[in-house]
Structures are given as C-alpha cells and as structure tokens.
Amino acid sequence: MSGGSHTFPLVQMMENMKQYTLDMNKRMFRAREVLGGNLETGIASTPYEVEYQEDRVQLKHYQPEGGSGYNFPLLVVYALINRETMLDLQPDRSVVKNLLDSGVDLYMLDWGYPTQKDRFLGFDEHINGYIHNAVQYILDKQGIEKLNLMGICMGGTMCAIYAAQHPEKVNNLVLTVSPTDFDTDSGLLHIWWGNKGFDVDRLVDLQGNVSGDMLNINFLLMNPARLMLDKYVNFMEHMDNRKFVENFLRMEKWIFDSPDVPGEIFREFIKECYQENKLINNRLEVGGQRVDLGKITMPVLNIYAVYDHLVPPAACEKITKKVGSKDAEDFAIKTGHIGIYVSSKSQKEFVPKICSWLRQRDAVPKKAAKNRKSRVQSPKRTTRTNMSSSAQ
C-alpha cells in the first residue's frame, strides 16, 4: 500500500464508495439489456453422431473435416462426475474442436444420466462392460485391432484399469488429471473421502446413487470464498459485458449439470481407491481379475495440472513409474483441474502436446495394416445431434 495516506481516508473512501455505487448503478442498467437479450450460452456445439448406445451410455463420433490424419482413432472417456460437455464448452475454447482441427478421428463416451436402476453398476460393468463394448464397436467398425485411449479425471482411472486388463486393445494411453495414487493429503478430497470416518457403505446403501447435488456441495465447500462469493462478485462487476456473461453462463451451466453417480462404482472408488489405495499397489480387483499396472505396456502420456486442487499432482505422478511401459511420460501444465481444458493458456499447450505425442506413436505394424484392409465395415449411423442451445 505504498503511496497511501497515513490517516484513515474515510472521506475519500466514502467518495470512492459513492462513485462505485453510481458505476454499479450504470452497470446494472446496461446489464438489463445484456441479461434480457438473446444470449448465446449453448455448450457442446460441435456436431457429432451417436454411433453406438448401450443403456444410458452413448458413443459420440466427431469426424475431422479434412479426414483423419492418424492411423488410430482416439476414444475419450470422461469421469462419471459432471459431464463431458466441458471438453466442448465454447467454440474458442474447445478441446474437441482443437483435436478435430488436428485431424484426430474422435470418439467420446457420454455416460448419460444414471437412474436408480444403475445403482448396482460398479467398476466391472463400466470398464469391462460399457468401455469395452464401445472400444470393440470402434475396432470392429474400423477394422483395426487397437485404438488410442484417453481418460479424463476419474475416466482416466478407469482407462488405466482398462489398459491393464485389455492391453491388446490399446495403442497409446493418455491420462489427464487422473487420480491413481490416493495416498496423499495434498488435496481436500483425499482428506475428506480418504478418511475412514466417511461411511460410504452407509451412504450408498441408503441413497443408491450418490446425488450430483451432494457432490457439488462437496466441491463448492472446497473453496467457499472463491466459489460461493468472489465468483459472483466478479460476475456483478462484469455483467454488462455480453461475452463475459455468455462464457460465465456456459461454465455455470456445465458446473451444475451434475448427473448422479451410480452408487456401486462410487462405493468402490471411495473404498478401494481413496481409502485403501489399491490401484497403485496392484491390489485392486475388477471383474474378478487383479489389476496389474505392469501390464500397461503401451506408451503412456500422463498429463496433470500443477495447481489442481481436486486431483493434486501427488495423486497423478506415480503411475508412470508403476506401468510396465518403457515409454511413459509425465507432462505438467501450470493450471488447475478445469483450467487444463478450458483456459485459453492451456489451449495452446494441452491439445498440441497430445497430438504431437500421438503422432510420434502412430505407426501401424505391418500385420495390423493387412488386417485393417480386410475388416473395414461401413459405419452404423443412428442420430445426428447438435446440442447448441440458447439461454432464452
């Protein structure tokens, strides 16, 4: 506060307050037009086709305009918490669009909205069921034996398990902000959920699925000052700026679009991973089979965010030392858990890194190339969907 007054500048502060209130009044007046006008707040506006569906789970296919520039398609598996629409939040900050622009033939799993009938679905049903069937669909359709697999957050944990149990199907594995080592106190979730005082059995037995709202309260509690107060103060200060408001509303829309999490998988995730840390120690069993990370022999790219408060670096770093692959790389980006996908800064780092890394590992073995020609099938098209919407 150098250069300030040495007596409390009450009069000047009152004058400032008055000016601030007058400015706010003007801003409110302008904001009326912005908020009452036609706001473009649609998310996930990149066109895609739903090519495969099993129960509530859909497999979306995004095709690059100029055709695929890679030999292997990329399947992205999002977490069961929140929705994959975050990867396509707005046209100028879209991981999906950036991947397509780089020529990636992109598939993405949309987990949908679980209902109570999904409460008994655990790791096995999600990994050896939904993920495996989606992978098999893509492989059959394209007549290939392997694909590139990329996991987001909890989706990455599931992808690591899948790659360990079905290494023959995965060409390259990309993990992004994916927790695999839960023995850390550097993130609040690890402190809250990792504590055995958190009786997840009782919660799941009682509620069935774990409600998205309940999880959201959990996430908001992680930083109440910023997420419940400062964020909205900031909104008030910029609410006359149409672009700011549109982006803010898109994010708000995504944050609170929270499907419930199937009870059984939540129970397994908390107990087996957060509380007992079985995955990194090769003690986790899925579908009656032990998950041996040593069986992950394909190249692995492990991307994490340095300032991630949900999945801290300590929860991500160890996996590259535990996998059986000799080609395993850690890549840290100086941003947060969500920022890694949506911040303008990481747009320049995140997708370019993935694409260049995949391109270097895109060679098709001769035997597989021969098979490929003989097994190509025509795609089964079902629906074409565009989720663009407006706040009106």
Per-residue b/e over 111-130, b at no fewer than 16 CB within 10 Å?
beebeeebbebbbbbbbbbb
Q: Helix or strand or coil: residue 71?
A: coil
Distance CA 161, CA 363 (A): 24
Using the minimum distance from each CB to other proteins, give the nearer residue, 140 or 230.
230
| 316 carries an active-site annotation | no
N-to-C CA span, the chain: 45
Using the minimum distance from each CB to other proteins, give the nearer residue, 129 or 313.
129
Amino acid at 2: S
Using the minimum distance from each CB to other proteins, give the nearer residue, 232 or 383.
232
Closest CA to 298 of 182, 179, 175: 175
Using the minimum distance from each CB to other proteins, give the nearer residue, 26 or 32.
26
Using the minimum distance from each CB to other proteins, give the nearer residue, 76 or 121.
121
Shortest distance, CB of residue 364 to other proteins, whole angstroms?
Answer: 27
The string of DSSP letters for 102-148 reads: TT--EEEEE-----GGGTT--HHIIIIIIIHHHHHHHHHHHT-S-EE
In contact, 141 and 379? CB cutoff 8 Å: yes
The string of DSSP letters for 7-60 reads: S--HHHHHHHHHHHHHHHHHHHHHHHHHHHS--------S-EEEEEEETTEEEE
Shortest distance, CB of residue 330 to other proteins, whole angstroms?
Answer: 26
Shortest distance, CB of residue 13 to other proteins, whole angstroms?
Answer: 6
Shortest distance, CB of residue 277 to other proteins, whole angstroms?
Answer: 18
Residue with tokens 């129960």: 55
Using the minimum distance from each CB to other proteins, give the nearer residue, 236 or 363.
236
Shortest distance, CB of residue 143 to other proteins, whole angstroms?
Answer: 19
Shortest distance, CB of residue 227 to other proteins, whole angstroms?
Answer: 10
Distance CA 276, CA 266 (A): 14
Residue with tokens 């979306």: 60
Distance CA 381, CA 386 (A): 15
What residues make contact with other proteins under the rule CB under 8 A?
1-9, 12-13, 16-17, 20, 116-117, 119-121, 129, 185, 188, 191-192, 195, 197-199, 202-203, 206-208, 221-226, 229-230, 233
How many other CB atoms sit within 10 Å of the CB of residue 94?
A: 23
State phi, psi for 214 to the nearest 5 degrees: -65, -40
CA dist list (Å): 279 to 177, 274, 282: 16, 10, 5
Shortest distance, CB of residue 315 to other proteins, whole angstroms?
Answer: 16
Using the minimum distance from each CB to other proteins, give the nearer residue, 156 or 194.
194
Catalytic positions, written as ranges: 153
